[in-house]
Amino acid sequence: MKTIILCGGKGTRLSEETKFVPKPMVKIGNKPIIVHIIKIYMKYGLKDFILAIGYKGKIIQEYFKLNPIKGANIKCVNTGLNSKTGGRILFLKENFEKNDTFMVTYGDGVSKDNIKELIKFHKKHKKFLTLTAVRPPVRFGEIKINKNNYVKEFNEKLQTNHNWINGGFFVMNYTVFNFIKNNQEMFEQEPIERLLSITQVKAYKHYDFWQCMDTLREKKYPQKLRKIELEKRFF
């Protein structure tokens, strides 16, 4: 099964670093985000990756020429500087056969997703699209205080107990390409709305670690983890 990683956006909310490199090349520890993402999938036996590049895409190409990942087949495809997420997926249609199932993810999020279970869930329900639903971490820790003002419990940055959001780990059937009309469509908007209108979207609920890297604050969170904890959470 092939995995598309969307790597073409400009990452303007992380402009402190994306002025110089595309967001998937921003480092967590001593490795770019995209390397961590690829290894998440490789843990579950997936080895074929198509990187949908755009903004500063040559930096990604050159990195993997000089730093190949053993066991991974990585193909970089220029999907345009200004294409939206739906357009980047549509651009890659020729890389798939009509009966293919494939995965799509963003190049700026890490997770302890069980990819094997995610694929199993998708194949069981037989809908066109599965998205991973997550509950994002809250910004601050939570304390519980008794009536005498003693702190009885302290929880650092729990996940919220409500409001599921799109975690960015998708499984799709080839049919999904038919619901994307042009390269200026955000996949998360019109294409998914079309699929929702015919009840072809299911959510796989993920309760474990998940973190996007949209801003410098979010990027710094995994940086604070010790190296051993980083490996434990991601892999």
Tens of pLDDT, residues 73-127: 999 999 999 999 999 999 999 999 999 999 999 998 888 889 999 999 999 999 9
The pLDDT of residue 18 is 73
The pLDDT of residue 159 is 57
DSSP 158-182: PBPSS--EEEEEEEEEGGGGGG--S
The pLDDT of residue 81 is 95
| Neighbouring residues of 85: CB distance < 8 A, sequence distance ≥ 6 | 6, 9, 186, 187, 188
Average pLDDT over residues 4-25: 83
Question: Can you give the pTM of this predicted structure?
Answer: 0.84
Burial 42-75, CB ≥16 within 10 A → b, else e: beeebeebbbbbbbbbeebeebbeeeeeeebebe
DSSP 136: P
Q: Which residue has the higher pLDDT, 216 or 27?
A: 27
The pLDDT of residue 225 is 45
The pLDDT of residue 226 is 41
- Is pLDDT of 70 > 50? yes
Side-chain half-sphere CA neighbours of 203 within 13 A: 12
pLDDT tens for 136-188 read 766 555 666 677 766 666 665 555 555 788 999 999 999 999 999 999 999 99
CA distance 22 to 88: 16
Neighbours of 158 (CB within 10 A): 12
| Domain 2-136+163-229 of CATH type 3.90.550.10 | yes
Q: Say if strands 165-173 and 73-78 run parallel, antiparallel, or are unpaired.
A: unpaired
pLDDT tens for 34-47 read 999 999 999 999 99
CA distance 5 to 171: 12
The pLDDT of residue 118 is 97
Tokens representing residue 61 in the block? 């190409």
Please work out, in degrees rounded to the nearest 5, the angle formed at the alpha carbon of residue 113 by the alpha carbons of 224 and 90: 110
The pLDDT of residue 161 is 56
The pLDDT of residue 110 is 86
CA distance 41 to 44: 6
- Is pLDDT of 230 > 90? no
